[in-house]
């Protein structure tokens, strides 16, 4: 059986260029996690975008393992002319926590329509899909989806 999974997403930095840090922690210590790989499918809302050229550069420098899934993607489009996109990211084991994995994804705000109120816009980043594969015959071998 699978243990409890705790998912936490943090938005780091301010302004138009931010980083999304995704942390996954298992509620119980599982020895078999050493042989597991975690793939995160993150849905990017229309108010944000991920630059595929930036991802390629980060992969080359071994900073993150992420790739755009969405095709026909325009990084210049404002939010009202764009569509949701998807990114696949391999999570890496956290060096400070044996039962924890994390992934890093740079995200950027899109331009929005002007409005007369206080000028703030809220963007909701939904929970990603989590996929886990373990090489051993023990432990969890399944598709996991974390819901709110």
Q: Does 135 map to a domain?
A: yes
Domain holding 91, by residue range, is 5-143
Could you tell me if residue 148 is inside a domain?
A: no
> Alpha-carbon distance 36 to 144, whole Å?
13
Q: What is the CATH number of the domain that holds 57?
A: 2.60.40
Span between the terminal Cα atoms of the chain, in Å: 21
Which pLDDT value is given to residue 108?
A: 92
pLDDT band per the 50, 70, 90 thresholds, residue 40: very high
Counting the structural domains of the chain, the total is 1
CA angle 132, 137, 143 (to 5 degrees): 25
CA distance linking residue 58 with residue 54, whole number of Å: 6
| Residue 117 backbone dihedrals phi, psi, to 5 degrees | -75, -145
Question: pLDDT, tens digit, for every residue of 81-124?
Answer: 998 999 999 998 888 887 888 998 999 988 888 777 776 778 88
pLDDT bucket at 16, cuts 50 / 70 / 90: confident
77 within some domain = yes
- Confidence (pLDDT) at 41: 93
Average pLDDT over residues 20-30: 80
């Amino acid at each position: 059986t699978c243990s409890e999974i705790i998912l936490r997403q943090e938005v780091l930095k301010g302004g138009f260029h931010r980083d999304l840090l995704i942390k996954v922690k298992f509620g119980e210590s599982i020895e078999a996690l050493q042989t597991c790989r975690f793939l995160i499918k993150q849905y990017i809302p229309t108010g944000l975008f991920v630059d595929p050229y930036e991802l390629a550069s980060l992969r080359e420098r071994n900073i993150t393992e992420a790739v755009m899934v969405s095709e026909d993607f325009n990084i210049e489009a404002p939010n009202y002319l764009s569509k949701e996109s998807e990114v696949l990211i391999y999570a890496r084991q956290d060096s400070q926590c044996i039962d924890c994995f994390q992934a890093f994804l740079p995200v950027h705000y899109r331009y929005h329509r002007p409005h007369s109120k206080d000028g703030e816009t809220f963007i909701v980043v939904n929970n990603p899909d989590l996929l886990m594969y373990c090489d051993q015959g023990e432990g969890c071998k399944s598709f996991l989806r974390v819901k709110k």
